[in-house]
């Protein structure tokens, strides 16, 4: 319907500590699911350079008809790192990623 708002997600950026761009919920969910499907829980992890191609294989093709797989992959990857769902393998060069067992919790406000 015309005028319907597309649900959006405000991403986070692990590198800056500030909010990242707002992206459509459907795109976020598809890229997140694809990343979590291919990134293992244990080292040696998944190579960062191969992640955009893996996302493209797992996500619905219609999502990327007019969108950059690389840009959305980077944006969601940084968000998942900030949320503690994935992490970089320490000392791995080139960069490799693993899933974490527990998501990072935000700071709790006192009552």
Domains of the chain (ranges, CATH numbers): 9-99 (1.10.10)
* Apex 85 CA angle, 91 and 46, nearest 5: 45
CA gap 46, 27 in Å, rounded = 21
- Using the predicted structure, report yes or no on whether residue 30 has a pLDDT greater than 60: yes
Label residue 51 by pLDDT band (50, 70, 90): very high
Cα–Cα nearest to 16, from 79, 89, 97? 79
Label residue 2 by pLDDT band (50, 70, 90): low
| pTM listed for this prediction | 0.87
What burial class does residue 99 get, using C-beta atoms within 10 Å of its C-beta: 0-12 exposed, 13-18 middle, 19+ buried? middle
Q: Average pLDDT of the chain?
A: 91
Q: What pLDDT sits at residue 35?
A: 98
- Using the predicted structure, report yes or no on whether residue 66 has a pLDDT greater than 50: yes
3 Cβ contact list (under 8 Å, min separation 6): none
């Amino acid at each position: 319907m015309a005028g319907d708002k597309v649900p959006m997600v405000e991403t986070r950026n692990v590198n800056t500590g500030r909010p990242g761009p707002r992206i459509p919920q459907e795109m976020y969910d598809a890229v997140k699911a694809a990343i979590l499907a291919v990134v293992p829980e244990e080292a040696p992890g998944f190579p960062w350079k191969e992640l955009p191609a893996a996302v493209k294989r797992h996500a619905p093709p219609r999502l990327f008809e007019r969108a950059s797989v690389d840009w959305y992959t980077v944006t969601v990857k940084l968000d998942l790192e900030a949320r503690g769902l994935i992490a970089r393998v320490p000392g791995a060069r080139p960069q490799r990623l693993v899933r974490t067992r527990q998501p990072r919790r935000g700071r709790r406000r006192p009552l």
